[in-house]
Amino acid sequence: MCYDKSMKKKPEKFTLGQTIVGLLILGWILPVLIMTTLLATFVDRRGAEQVDQTVFSAMDKAEEIFRLEMDACETASKNASYYSDIRDAYLECVRTGDDRSFSAEVNGFLRSEYKYNSLIRCAVLIFPKENDRFYTYNNSTGAGYGNVEYFLGNVEEEVRELAESLGTSTTLMSENGHTYMVRNLMLPDFTPYAVLALELNERMLVSGYESVWGYTDSVFLLDGAYMTGNAAVAEGAGGKPDRGRSYVTRTLQVYNREITVIVSLDRSVLYEKRLANWLIFGILIIVMFPLMFLLFRFFDRSVLLPIGRMVHAYGEVAGKNYGYRIEEHSASREFYYMEQSFNEMSAQIRDQFDRIYREEIALRDARIMALQSQINPHFLNNTFEIINWEARLNGNIKVSKMIEALSTMLEATMNRRGDPLHSLSEELNYVDAYAYIISERLGDDFHYGKEVDESLLGVHVPKLILQPIVENAVEHGLSRVHKGNVRLRLFAEGDYILIEIVNDGAMNEEDEQKVRRILSEAPEQEQEGSLSLGIRNVNRRLRLIYGPECGLFMENRDGCYTVSTIRLKKTAAQ
């Protein structure tokens, strides 16, 4: 009765180890874990609420400080209008044309008001009609003349356009990380005569947010566009994964502009108190369950480990490692007897398998010898030797050489040494002898060539696997026109040795059907001729020795010539 793997049933019950572990989990570990987890979750949630409350309170305070500093900046900008120094100097210059006094007055006012203001990096005063510009910068904030150059080269034109529609209001604008507060200076009739642009010290403005618990970085956006800070913070808050960060976002309305503040917080700092709580509960669990470890160790060493060795041993035998023995014996008497019984069973299986294997090897060798006997002609080589000497004595060297070639072929068929294998170089000698006889028969109408990888000539292969294929190429490929070419190629391809015999004759549909029938395993060989029988036997011998992926393959190639390919396993052949 054949054994079908689909008939193998899976165990319907749990294993012993699974049952023991399940009872421990359901009856003891799980209830304690549930109670401890509920308590830890409650404490953790309260801790999270406290963290959130602390962070939001700090954000509110930072927002209040930010607004106060912005108000201080606005007051500083309004001083240029409220104090009449600049306006009086401007009107006096318009009346008298005294530019020197005007410049001195304006520069003095800018220095006194803005040069030492920590909230301002630089101040630029523009008189559009006269196209005059006055400026000052605060060295203590890290500013320099470069800030002024950047404004004049990149921001001035935009400020001029903005001032035309600004009226008496104050507004903010940002350019590549530089933030400016802009307002017009007015004459008594509310006619604008100058534009004041103050570059704000962003470091002072954002310093209030650095006091937020867990602060790592921040970014400020003006109407959604970058204002100052670290732009990567906006990417993280926008969805780019960063497991170590949390983000808090606030939106402020300042001078009819929307400022969005995004603060990045170090999650490890925020949750360190919560992690401490979880650590305490973890230690409590470890302290509460020392007995759990002892029980698991007992069951593991006394029950689960022996069972695991048994399962592994059965797996080894199932993987054809017959004779596998369990060397480490359990201290338990029951498991000891089971392991001893398994070792005896495994030894018996190995003995039976070795006996069956030897029988199969003998049967295979018998089948190979039986197949070889079908193509072993019983000629007497000595008779040809006598004929050869007669031809030489009569001076007929051509006949002598043909007899020698035929004698070489007969030497292969007689197999005097009884070896089923010989080297590829010997096999090619037999083919060369046959090709010589055919060339003498057909003359210049027959051409035989070889392309041989000489590194393969020492490989041992079954006898008489090439000559029947070359004979078939001559008889069927050249039979219609009695002329043509036969080429033999010997080469290696991966783990295989390939031998190709190519002839000029292309097979028709009837020939292809006949080839398929000959190379099949169908029992029709008695209906074929001797040549077809030789091809069939070559194919069967190769498949018996090397396996089903090897053998003889014949095909039409490019529709104009026939290729017969012999495929051998390199490792099996050597």
- Give the domain CATH number at 466: 3.30.565.10
Q: Are residue 108 and residue 152 in the same domain, yes or no?
A: yes
Mean pLDDT of 391-399: 68
Give the rounded percent of residues in the chain with a pLDDT score beyond 70.
76
Split at pLDDT 50, 70, 90, the class of 379 is very low
Domain-embedded: residue 9: no
Q: Which of 386, 418, 450 is the last residue of a domain?
A: 418
| Calpha distance 207→218 (Å, rounded) | 10
Confidence of residue 1 (pLDDT cuts 50, 70, 90): very low
Domain with 313, as residue range(s), is 302-361
* 478 pLDDT more than 80: no
Whether residue 46 lies inside any domain: the answer is: no
* Three-state secondary-structure class, residue 324: coil
At residue 180, the pLDDT reads 93
CA dist., res. 266 & res. 244, Å (int): 6
8 Å CB contact between 200 and 73: yes
Q: Are 266 and 325 in the same domain?
A: no
Domain check: are 378 and 394 in the same one?
A: yes
Residue 36 lies in a domain: no
- Whether residue 257 is found in the same domain as residue 342: no
Same domain, 348 and 381: no
Q: How many domains does the chain have?
A: 4
Q: Do 141 and 257 share a domain, yes or no? A: yes
Identify whether residues 254 and 106 lie together within a single domain.
yes
pTM: 0.45
Task: Say yes or no: 458 and 478 in one domain.
Answer: yes
**One domain for residues 146 and 91:** yes
Please check whether residue 162 lies inside any domain of the structure.
yes
Domain co-membership, 318 together with 379: no
| pLDDT tens by residue, 237-266 | 777 656 678 888 889 898 888 999 988 888
Q: What would the 3-class secondary structure string for 215-232 be?
A: EEEEEEEECCEEEEECHH
- Note whether 118 and 246 are same-domain residues: yes
| Whether 325 and 389 share a structural domain | no
Mean pLDDT in the chain? 79
Q: Is the pLDDT of residue 151 over 90?
A: yes
- CA–CA separation, 128 vs 150, rounded Å? 19
Question: Residue 482 — pLDDT band, cuts 50, 70, 90?
Answer: low
Buried (b) or exposed (e) across 436-450, using 16+ Cβ within 10 A? bbbbeeeeeebebee
N-term to C-term CA, the chain: 38
Q: What is the pLDDT of residues 59-92, one digit of tens each?
A: 889 889 888 988 999 898 888 888 888 988 888 8
Beta bridge partners of 319: none
Cα 453 to Cα 490: distance, rounded to the nearest angstrom = 6
The model's pLDDT over 5-18, given as tens digits with 9 standing for 90+, comes to 444 444 555 666 66
Q: Supply the pLDDT for residue 490.
A: 92
Nearest to 469 by CA among 540, 374, 567, 564: 564
The tokens describing 130, both together, are 């006269």
Given this model, what pLDDT does residue 278 score?
Answer: 65
61 within a domain of the structure (yes/no) = yes
Give the start-end residues of each E strand in 187-286.
192-200, 215-222, 225-229, 245-254, 257-266
Instruction: Tell me what the mean pLDDT of segment 179-185 comes to.
Output: 92
Structure tokens at 442: 């057909």
Q: How far apart are CA 183 and CA 198, in angstroms?
A: 9
Identify whether 396 is part of a domain: yes
**178-186/170-175 β-pairing:** antiparallel
Which residues contact residue 453 at a Cβ distance below 8 angstroms, ignoring those fewer than 6 apart? 490, 491, 492
Q: Specify the higher pLDDT residue, 339 or 456.
A: 456
What totals of helices (H) and strands (E) does the chain contain, helices first?
20, 16
Say how far apart CA 344 and CA 53 lie, in whole Å.
73
Q: Please compute the mean of the pLDDT values over residues 293-322 and round it to a whole number.
A: 76
290 in a structural domain: no
The pLDDT, as a whole number, for residue 8 is: 47
Residue 14 maps to a domain: no
Higher-pLDDT residue of 197 and 507 is: 197
Token digits of residue 242? 């960063």
Q: Report the alpha-carbon distance of residue 316 to residue 32 in Å, rounded.
A: 41
